[in-house]
């Protein structure tokens, strides 16, 4: 049986770049209240993993093969409305950010600013606190 951190925020990392996911896993895993319970390399894998991983939050890249982050977010939020989703984007284009938030993401974080800001956005999303729509 998989051991989990008691009272932790269970997260799935969704990005098509394994090295980026590894970096996020390392960064977020350093927080005592975060547990990365899974990874997916595209939106389709993320949607399919929901019943098995039961996350409280998802860090979702926008641009991915098979099923992009916008569509995956829309599908997940329709079926799991209490899961907090924080979008990630390499693009500064406001269209992508607006589309991701319209699909149900709490906010969108630039991959360049991921670090501590991403942790704060996840924590606020899970706790249903007001968020800023950071770029």
What is the SS3 assignment for 36-62? EEEEECCHHHHHHHHHHHCCCEEEEEC
pTM: 0.80
* 74-124 tens-digit pLDDT: 999 999 999 999 998 886 678 888 999 999 999 888 777 665 566 677 777
Tell me the per-residue pLDDT of 30-81, one tens digit each, with 9 for 90 and over: 888 899 999 999 999 999 999 999 999 999 999 998 999 999 999 999 999 9
- DSSP character at residue 85: E
| Nearest CA-CA partner of 126 in 88, 89, 87, 82 | 82
CATH class label, 9-126: alpha beta
Q: Where are the domains of the chain?
A: 9-126
When pLDDT is cut at 50, 70 and 90, the band that residue 129 belongs to is low
């Amino acid at each position: 049986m998989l051991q989990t951190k008691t009272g932790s925020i269970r997260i799935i990392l969704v990005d098509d770049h394994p090295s980026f996911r590894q970096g996020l896993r390392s960064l977020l895993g350093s927080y005592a209240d975060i547990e990365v319970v899974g990874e997916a390399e595209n939106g389709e894998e993320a949607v399919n993993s929901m019943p098995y991983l039961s996350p409280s939050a998802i860090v979702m890249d926008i641009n991915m093969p098979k099923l992009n982050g916008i569509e995956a977010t829309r599908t997940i939020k329709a079926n799991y409305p209490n899961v907090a989703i924080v979008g990630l984007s390499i693009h500064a284009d406001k269209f992508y950010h607006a589309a991701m938030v319209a699909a149900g993401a709490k906010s969108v974080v630039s991959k360049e600013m991921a670090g501590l800001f991403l942790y704060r956005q996840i924590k606020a999303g899970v706790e249903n606190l007001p968020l800023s729509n950071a770029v």
